[in-house]
Chain A
Amino acid sequence: MKLRTIAFTNLRRRKARLAFLLAGLLIGIATVVTMLSLSTAMTAEVQHQMENFGANILITPKTDELSLSYGGITLGGVSVDPREIPEADLARIETIPNRRNIAAVAPKVLGAVEVKGERVMLMGVAADREFHLKRWWSVEGRPLVERNELVAGSSVARRLGLKPGDTVEIEDFPFVLTGILRETSSQDDDLLIASLPTAQILLDKPGLVSLVEVAALCGDCPVEEMVAQIAAVLPEARVGAIQQVVKSRMHAIEQFQVFAFGVAVVVILIGALVVFVTMMGSVNERTREIGIFRALGFRRAHVARLILIEAATVSLLAGILGYFVGMLATGLLLPVLAEAHAHLVWDARLAGGSVLLAVLVGTLASLYPALHASRLDPTTALRTL
């Protein structure tokens, strides 16, 4: 028999108090785990969105105000803006210090063409990169692959009475319409989309691009710095960040994190209070027992250690169970609070941290009860003597 045997036996044979102590701390730890893992999952979701759902840097020519616009730049109707960006210059983007953060560079050329007697905007794209970047695009039919293929925006298709498989003539060149973009409620609905080389020829802009969308892998990478770096290698272009949506989402998550931290602190404090009150009650209930221990030759330190072993054991248990209960709660809450892409993040640091926090809180909250127990006068504690 050792001190810990006495502690474990006491806990085992006084199940009601064990359950109460356990519940007090477990709720606190589970709340902390839930809050932290929820915010981690939601942050990861936003990062995922930022990395996979579109561009966050836009490169446009330095141009004057014109009448047609797309993607924040303005174009001069059918007239060709003399200041396009040479496609060859885009290779310089790959030389910036933060090039590893670049997920995709999607150049496009824009201009007006005449189809079936109507003027429509034609956009030439690097098809594979464009369709990868714009995952929200949903195509009825299939995306274009070949140079003689086209995809039409929903409005244009409706206006011109186009359907997948139709042949469309532009500047006497026949094109096959492989697909129609389902409605996006954006400027994309008014576009005809062709491959970049084809559009450059049709629009008479060989080797030129009108704008470039850059997707940066930016959960926490410095978009502003990357904008500056790209601007430095492309001095003749205008470079800007489009991150309002992401910023506002991140801001919401940051606010949630502050709220989560506040709630976690309060719940942990309540948990610590429950442990303190329960351990204090336990010590007062066991004064006679502590008197016996002291009479039998237990030192004050032995008595204090006995109480602390009990507290640490319960806390350890509460930490482990609290982590799993917290993760379970996160798993249940996540589909309600976040979008489909969010998933549980099993983090060893969170697991270790929650167990450590539980043991720390439980032991600290039991420190005074343990000292109180060790200071009990054995004569008073025994009463019979």
Chain B
Amino acid sequence: MAFIEINGLSKHYPSRAGVVAALDGIDLTIDEGSFLGVMGPSGSGKSTFLSLIGGLCHPTAGTIRVDGIDIFRLPAEQLADFRREYLGFVFQSFNLVPYLTALENVMLPLAVKKLATAEKRERAYQVLERVGLKARAGHLPGELSGGEQERVAIARALVNRPPLILADEPTGSLDTATAASIMELFAELNREGQTIVMVTHNPETRGNFHRTLLLRDGRVAGESLATAA
């Protein structure tokens, strides 16, 4: 069953040269538990695509339904609630809050939830353990390596137990070995039933995806299925 339904999705930006179509009429469905890779050259609309699924910006045209919810019909504050309950973001440059420890960064999505602090802490420790970083819980981001920061970012995306994880170039700034271990972590999460949409440049990561979407000039230029063994 389709977990995400995308219909006629377009996003146009005004520019000096006229209107630029970052995305132009995308139709797509994503099943629950799938691992979708989105690839394409720079400027092909990958990040815009991810921002739209995440409800971070509004489309010029088209709809996205996640779990049956037409997300762009939600008022602003409910859209924020939707992001909190349905999505976990993993950003390219980790985007950890520098003055918060690894544990506090992981607890961030829970900060506005009505849960006991002890439970929030417990959940954060659990996901840090899941990504192999429980021992580094008290460290600030500046004291962690790139791979460790990425793991903290993944733990933060998982802490709220969201049905969907959106990852934007999560291995983009990591060395090959670390990138491979991070991709393995994502694959593991997916095997456990987690739906993941990942934007990437790295062709080596393709092996992990159930399905790979190739974007070019804001359109779907190609699609390949289950190259994974």
Contact = CB atoms under 8 A, between A and B. Distances in A.
A1 B111 contact: yes
A1 B91 contact: no
B95 A288 contact: yes
Contacts of A95: none
Interface residues of A, number: 29
B144 to A, nearest CB: 16
Contacts of A293: 108
A109 B91 CA distance: 99
A298 B120 CA distance: 16
Interface of B: 47, 50-51, 54, 56-57, 76-77, 80-85, 87, 89, 91-93, 95, 97, 99-100, 104, 107-112, 117, 120-121, 156, 160, 168
Given A1-B120, A300-B76, A385-B91, A9 B100 contact: yes
A299 B95 contact: no
B99 A10 contact: yes
B77 A301 contact: yes
A159 interface: no
Interface string A297-322: 11111100000000000000000000
Interface in A1-30: 1-3, 5-6, 9-10, 13-14
B116 to A, nearest CB: 11
Nearest to B160: A297
A382 interface: yes
Say what secondary structure dominates the interface of chain A. helix
Contact of A2 (B56, B92, B117, B168): B117
Contacts of B117: 1-2
A221 interface: no
Most B CB within 10 A of own CB, among A5, A298, A382:
A382
Nearest to B105: A292
A300 B47 contact: no
A2 B50 contact: no
B57 A377 contact: yes
A379 B57 contact: yes
Contacts of B99: 9-10, 13-14
Nearest to A301: B77
Contact of A289 (B57, B97, B110, B156): B97
A302 B112 contact: yes
Contacts of B108: 1, 6, 292-293, 296
Most B CB within 10 A of own CB, among A2, A3, A6, A295:
A295
Contact of A382 (B56, B77, B112): B56
A1 B47 contact: no
A294 interface: yes
B184 to A, nearest CB: 23
A6 B98 CA distance: 12
Nearest to B92: A384
Contacts of A292: 91, 95, 97, 108
